[in-house]
Amino acid sequence: MKYLYEKVNYEKNIPAKILMQDKPGWRCRTELHWHKELEMIYMIKGHLDVTVNGKKRSLDDDGLLFCNSEDIHTTNIEDDNMHNRYIVVQLSYEYLREFCDKADGLFFNVDSNPKAVEKIKESLLKLVDYSENGKYQYVDLLKYSEILKIYHVLLSECSTSKKNAYISKAPSNFSYAKRVLEYIGKNYKNEISLNDMADLVGLSPAYFSKYFKNITGTSFTHYLNGIRLDYAIKDMLARNSSVTEAALENGFPNVKSFITMCKKVYGSTPAQYKKHYNDD
């Protein structure tokens, strides 16, 4: 994940973003994030540890994970070398409203409906085929048809009023976390202190520190530097930035802190990570 509040860019002619993932475990981690779009992850082969609103779940072969709009979620992996093959589909919430004017009051309970799960998996497998097989004409129309089927299954078989739904929540209010994460996403290149963020949400520094760790599972400083690491590595891979450029242009106070963070997260220096990525 490259954005804390993720702005999703849809496919051409399709109200969704479709991502085919085929990569080793060390490239499957994402930071804590959320977006307005509904999201599905279907694991074809492999394993992911996914946390949604503070609740952990393992996703293995033929496993389907569904995230409602604005669910805070992250993915992790224990085996860096295990190869994962899966599809991620993010559905436009604005498009959903065109078919249901009460969409903002709905919660989609997919897991409790096995028949709906199988229908969604069937459409996702077709999307996999359409995305990987070049034999189809007018492939966008075929993809569109499966996206519409998924919308229909969600609305007709999985929807319930948010007032009547049991919605899994973390033990603390997510509103503070969302404000902080969005601020970090816009200002990670600048100096940001724990006291700054405590002031932003009107909490004492000590209480905010405990609250933030409870929500994210890590300290504020480690999380902030993890975001900086994400962007710095991206610059090294996409822009061929040097280690020094990547560190200083993405909020690290010095190169040493960038290297230290990279070793903690990936077990290698930034230069080693780049070589590993390019050799993969």
Q: What is the pLDDT of residues 46-88, one digit of tens each?
A: 999 998 877 888 999 999 999 998 787 888 888 878 889 999 9
Q: Could you please state the CATH topology (level 3) that the domain comprising 16-161 is classified under.
A: Jelly Rolls (2.60.120)
**CB count in 10 Å sphere of residue 22:** 13
pLDDT at 43: 96
**What pLDDT, on a 0 to 100 scale, did the predictor assign at position 7?**
56
pTM above 0.85, yes or no: no
pLDDT digits (tens, 9 = 90+) for 92-133: 988 998 999 888 888 999 998 999 999 999 999 999 999 999
Phi-psi domain of 25 (left: phi exceeds 0; alpha: psi -120 through 50; beta: other): alpha
Q: What is the mean pLDDT of residues 244-253?
A: 96
Closest CA to 126 of 112, 111, 141: 141
Task: Look at 166 and 86; give whichever has higher pLDDT.
Answer: 86
The identity of residue 279, as a single letter, is D
Q: In this structure, are residues 245 and 235 in contact, taking their beta carbons and an 8 Å threshold?
A: yes
- Beta-carbon contacts of 238 under 8 Å, excluding residues fewer than 6 positions away, are none
Domain ranges for the chain? 16-161, 174-279
Q: Which two tokens stand for residue 172?
A: 């603390």
Q: How far apart are CA 23 and CA 84, in angstroms?
A: 6
CATH fold for the domain made of 174-279 = Arc Repressor Mutant, subunit A (1.10.10)
